[in-house]
């Protein structure tokens, strides 16, 4: 298969690392090579977080070159914009319509950016902006926002659904498995192709 480059963006503490772990296990389930890269430490405390996941026959660089990202998954609305340069023309963006005001906005000094869908539209990127956290709350836990987004993402990848189930099973605690599988299915329903 052709290498698929996935960018996951959001804010520290939103469950980005777990989502990228599931994708890494998904690659293993499908006997493919995978690299993922993210940064921990100081940047974690409420800072912008990004994880690059690359799945294919043989992966060299852990970083995705600019303009080569196939799909951007953003856990937070404006954080999607931070990585727009990395998404290829004709790529896809799956964005959680959920706002976490950055400090400047919270202080009333800066404005939260608007017109995000249009900016992706200008790049010929297919954008899906959904209120994913609301869906997660409806399922009983806002923390499964990431796995609903995974369900949405699965509609744009070619892997068997069963391999997602196995990858989720490997990555979450047993007591949360059922909830996460439900979240995955909810995500699949949110995308109509």
Partner 1 sequence: MAAKGKEVLSGNQAIARGAYETGCQFAAAYPGTPSTEILETIAEKYGDSIYAEWSINEKVALESAAGASYAGARSLVAMKHVGLNVAADPLMTLPYTGIVGGLVIVTADDPHMHSSQNEQDNRHYAKFAKIPMLEPSDSQEAKEFTRLAFFLSEKYDTPVLIRTTTRISHGFSVVTLEDPVSPVRELRARKENAEKWTMLPSNARKRHPVVEKRLRELRELAENIEINRIEWGSEEIGFITGGVSYMYAKEAFPDASFLKLGMSYPLPERMIKEFASRVKKLYVVEELDPFWEDEIKKMGIEVTGKEIFPRCGELDPDIVYRAVRYGDVPECGTLELKRSPDLPVRPPILCPGCPHRSMFYQLNRKKYFVTGDIGCYTLGYYKPLSAMHTTLDMGASLGHGHGMFKVLPEGERKKVVSVIGDSTFMHSGMTHLLNMAYNKTKGTIIILDNRTTAMTGQQVNPATGVTLMGEQTFEIDFKSLAESFGVKHIIETNAWDMESVSRALDEAENYDGLSVIIHKGPCALLPEYRKNYQKQPMVVDPEKCSGCKICLNVNCPSLSWVEEEGYWVDKKGNKHRRKGYVVIDQLNCTGCEVCAQSCPFDAIIFPERSE
- 81 touches partner 1 by CB under 8 A: yes
In the chain the first and final C-alpha atoms are separated, in Å, by 22
Containing 9, the helix (H) or strand (E) segment is strand 4-11
In terms of Cβ atoms closer than 10 Å to its own Cβ (0-12, 13-18, 19+), residue 31 is exposed
Contacts 24+ apart (CB under 8 A), 104-110: none
Question: Which position among 2, 41, 158, 162 is part of the footprint of partner 1 (CB under 8 A)?
Answer: 41
- 125 touches partner 1 by CB under 8 A: no
Looking at the Cβ atoms of 36 and 186, the one nearer to partner 1 is 36
CB of 34 to partner 1, least distance (A): 6
- 11 touches partner 1 by CB under 8 A: yes
Among 134, 137, 147, smallest CA distance to 182 is for 147
CB of 71 to partner 1, least distance (A): 18
- 173 touches partner 1 by CB under 8 A: no
Q: Give the DSSP letter string of 103-170.
A: HHHHTTSS-----HHHHHHHTT-EEEEE-HHHHHHHHT-GGGHHHHHHHHHHTTS-S-HHHHHHHHHH
Question: Which position among 18, 75, 86, 149 is part of the footprint of partner 1 (CB under 8 A)?
Answer: 86
- The footprint of partner 1 on this chain (CB under 8 A) covers a number of residues equal to 51
- 103 touches partner 1 by CB under 8 A: yes
Question: Which position among 105, 177, 179, 190 is part of the footprint of partner 1 (CB under 8 A)?
Answer: 105
Length of the chain (residues): 193
Residue numbers 130-149 binding partner 1 by CB under 8 A: 142
Among 126, 86, 74, smallest CA distance to 5 is for 86
Looking at the Cβ atoms of 77 and 181, the one nearer to partner 1 is 77
- 30 touches partner 1 by CB under 8 A: no
* Cα–Cα distance for residue pair 47/19, rounded to 1 Å: 17
Residues lying near partner 1 in the complex (CB under 8 A): 11-12, 20-21, 24-25, 27-28, 33-48, 59-63, 65-66, 78, 81-86, 101-108, 110-113, 142
């Amino acid at each position: 298969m052709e290498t698929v480059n996935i960018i996951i963006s959001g804010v520290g503490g939103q469950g980005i690392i777990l989502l990228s772990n599931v994708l890494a296990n998904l690659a293993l389930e499908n006997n493919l090579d995978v690299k993922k890269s993210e940064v921990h430490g100081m940047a974690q405390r409420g800072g912008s977080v990004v994880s690059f996941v690359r799945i294919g026959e043989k992966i060299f660089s852990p970083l995705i070159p600019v303009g080569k990202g196939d799909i951007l998954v953003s856990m937070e609305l404006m954080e999607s914009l931070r990585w727009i340069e990395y998404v290829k023309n004709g790529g896809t963006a799956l964005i959680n319509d959920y706002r976490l005001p950055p400090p400047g906005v919270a202080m009333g000094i800066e404005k939260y950016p608007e017109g995000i869908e249009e900016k992706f539209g200008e790049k010929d990127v297919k954008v899906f902006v959904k209120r994913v956290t609301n869906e997660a709350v409806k399922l009983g836990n806002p923390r499964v926002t990431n796995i609903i987004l995974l369900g949405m993402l699965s509609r744009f990848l070619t892997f068997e659904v069963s391999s997602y189930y196995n990858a989720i099973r490997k990555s979450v605690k047993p007591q949360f498995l059922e909830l996460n599988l439900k979240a995955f299915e909810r995500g699949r329903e949110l995308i109509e192709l």
